[in-house]
Structures are given as structure tokens and as C-alpha cells.
């Protein structure tokens, strides 16, 4: 029995070593394949994007009633609040439109790349543009509204509709905070880098 055990142990060790070597080879092949495909696929560019990604091409703004994906893919409750606010603003002779709303992850990635180029570093760009993984635009939970008169109007009356400016450095960026109707809007974050949601 001892001689049989002694013979089977080296065989077992050899079998385990062979399996580990095979796993290492397969893992390397898969890793190299992933790297090759990552290198082979060029980054998305603005030219490759369309309205289906949430790009607004009509002079940079559309009606809050537009059916373009930038508007229609917003969270339904956020969209209802925006439309109610736009109607009230219209009665005060203040126009309101959507500059940017829902965005695809690809569109958000392009905006992030452009911000890095504009501001010179990923750290500085993060003060203005969230990653696709952390952007409230990608989830349909944020909308950029204009013009300036509408932003001023919303600063005064947005809470009535649960619409709150979230970042002090982005007067155009609004999100739905239903509790604001009764309690007013929460304090703003200085910029997206101070928002805990961008640290996810």
C-alpha cells in the first residue's frame, strides 16, 4: 500500500501541475486576446454619436416636450417635474429648454475625454464631468436646463417642483429631489468630486 501511495503521489502532483500549467496558458491566451481587442477597437468619438446616444444637435437645445432620447429617456418622474416647471415658467414669460438630458455611456465617455483635453487632467475634468459609471445623466436622473433666465427662475422656484441644482459650479444641472417640495433643496455640492455618488 505504501509503494502504491508513493507511486500515485508523484502522478497526482504531475497531474495537478499539468492542470495548473494549462490554466495558466489558457488565462494568458484570454488576457492577450482581450488586450488585442481593446487595442484594436478605437475610442468612441463625437462623430460616431447620434441622437440615439442622447446628443442634442438642434442648436444645442430642444423643447422639454421633445421626443428625442435625451428627453424621452429621462426618468419619468424627473421629466414630469421638468415639464410642470416649464409650464409654470412659461406663464412667467420664461422659456425653458433641455440642453442635455439622458446620455448613453458612450456619449458620457466622449464628454469625459473632451473634458480631460480641455482641463488638462482627469482630476480637473472630474470637477465638471462624471464618469459613465457615475453619471446621473447616464441613468436618466439628471437634466441640464437653459437658458440662463430659466436657470435663474429654477433657482427661485425649482424646489416647488422638486427640481434642485446639485452642484454649485453647474447652475444648469438639475435633479429630482421630491422632498424639496416640502423642505427646500438640499445644500449643493461644490462640484461633482465632492458628491459621494461619484465615488461609487
Best mean pLDDT range from 9-13, 58-62, 139-143, 191-195: 139-143
Specify the CATH number of the domain 46-199.
3.30.1380.10
As a whole number of angstroms, the longest Cα–Cα distance in the chain is 97
What residue ranges do the domains of the chain occupy? 1-41, 46-199
- Which of 3, 104, 101 minimizes the C-alpha distance to 56? 101
The whole-model pTM stands at 0.77
Q: Dump pLDDT digits (tens) for 152-180.
A: 999 999 999 999 999 999 999 999 999 99
Q: pLDDT averaged over the chain? A: 86
Residue 156: half-sphere exposure toward Cβ, Cα within 13 Å: 9
**80, 151, 153 from 144: Cα distances, Å:** 15, 9, 14
* Phi (first) and psi of residue 113, to 5 degrees: -60, -45
Grid coordinates belonging to 27: 488565462
pLDDT digits (tens, 9 = 90+) for 40-49: 456 788 888 9
Amino acid at each position: 500500500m505504501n509503494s502504491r501511495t508513493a507511486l500515485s503521489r508523484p502522478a497526482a502532483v504531475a497531474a495537478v501541475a499539468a492542470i495548473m500549467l494549462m490554466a495558466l496558458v489558457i488565462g494568458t491566451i484570454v488576457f492577450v486576446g482581450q488586450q488585442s481587442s481593446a487595442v484594436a477597437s478605437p475610442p468612441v468619438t463625437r462623430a460616431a454619436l447620434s441622437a440615439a446616444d442622447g446628443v442634442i444637435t438642434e442648436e444645442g437645445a430642444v423643447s422639454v416636450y421633445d421626443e428625442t432620447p435625451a428627453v424621452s429617456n429621462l426618468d419619468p418622474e424627473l421629466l414630469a417635474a421638468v415639464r410642470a416647471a416649464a409650464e409654470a415658467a412659461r406663464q412667467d414669460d420664461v422659456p425653458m429648454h433641455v440642453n442635455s438630458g439622458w446620455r448613453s455611456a458612450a456619449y458620457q465617455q466622449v464628454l469625459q475625454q473632451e473634458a480631460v483635453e480641455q482641463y488638462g487632467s482627469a482630476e480637473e475634468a472630474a470637477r465638471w464631468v462624471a464618469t459613465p459609471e457615475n453619471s446621473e445623466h447616464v441613468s436618466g436622473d439628471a437634466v441640464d436646463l437653459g437658458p440662463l433666465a430659466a436657470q435663474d427662475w429654477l433657482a427661485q422656484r425649482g424646489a416647488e417642483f422638486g427640481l434642485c441644482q446639485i452642484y454649485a459650479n453647474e447652475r444648469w444641472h438639475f435633479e429630482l429631489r421630491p422632498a424639496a417640495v416640502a423642505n427646500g433643496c438640499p445644500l449643493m455640492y461644490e462640484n461633482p468630486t465632492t458628491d459621494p455618488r461619484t465615488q461609487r
